[in-house]
Amino acid sequence: METSPVASAICAKPSATRAAPNAKQPRTRSAVSNGSRLFVVRPGDTAWSRRFSDVLAEIIGDLGGPTVLSEGQRQLARRCATIAIACERMEGDAVAGAQIDLEIYGTLTDRLGRTFQRLGLKRQPRDITTLDPLNYAAARDREV
C-alpha cells in the first residue's frame, strides 16, 4: 500500500511505530490508525481536500509536531481543520457577493476558538507599546 507523504507527516504517531500491549498487527488496523491515510475513504484530489491537509499540518506543527500529540489531540486538530475550511468556504462566498448565514459563521468561529483553547493554542499578542511609529514605518517600507 502506498503511503501519502502528507498523510505520513500529519498522521505520524507513536502508536503507528510502537506496539502497545495487546495491540493489533498493522495489517489488521485501519489505514487511518496506521497513519498512512487521513480518511477511511479517500476524498479525492480536490482543492478543498488539499487545503484541509495544509491546515491540519499547520495546526499540528503549531502543537509541536505529529509525534508529540495524543490521539485526542490529533482528533481535536482534525476538528479544527474541518471547522477552519468550513469558515474559509463561507468567507469565499461572502467575498464573491453571496449572502452567508452570519449566525452559523459566528458559531463556527466561536467553536474553532474554543477547540484551539482545548488544544492549548493561545493567542500571542505582540508588544506594540515599545514601537516607535517612525521606525515601524521605515521597517515596513524596507519590506516592500
Predicted confidence at residue 143, as pLDDT, reads: 79
On the question of pLDDT at 19 being above 90, the answer is no
pLDDT on residue 131: 72
pLDDT tens per residue across span 86-129: 999 999 999 999 999 999 999 999 999 999 999 988 766 666 66
Name the CA dihedral angle for 78, 80, 81, 82, rounded to a multiple of 10 degrees. Answer: 90
- Residue 140: band (very low, low, confident or very high) from pLDDT cuts 50, 70, 90: confident
Amino acid in position 89? R
**Band (33; pLDDT cuts 50, 70, 90):** low
Query: Can you read off the three cell numbers belonging to residue 59?
Result: 495546526
Cα 41 to the center of its chain, rounded Å: 19
- Distance (Å, rounded) from C-alpha 77 to C-alpha 58? 10
Overall average pLDDT of the 21-40 stretch: 63
Q: What is the 3-state secondary structure (H, E, C) of 11-32?
A: HCCHHHHCCCCCCCCHHHCCHH
Whether 7 contacts 39, CB under 8 Å:
no
* Overall domain count for the chain: 1
Residues contacting 36, CB < 8 A, separation 6+ = 1, 3, 4, 7, 8, 11
pLDDT value for 81: 96
Q: Cα–chain-centroid distance for residue 134?
A: 37
Provide the pLDDT for residue 17.
46
* Cα of 103 vs its chain's centroid, Å: 23
Taking the complete model, does pTM exceed 0.75, yes or no? no
Q: Which domain holds residue 30?
A: 5-143
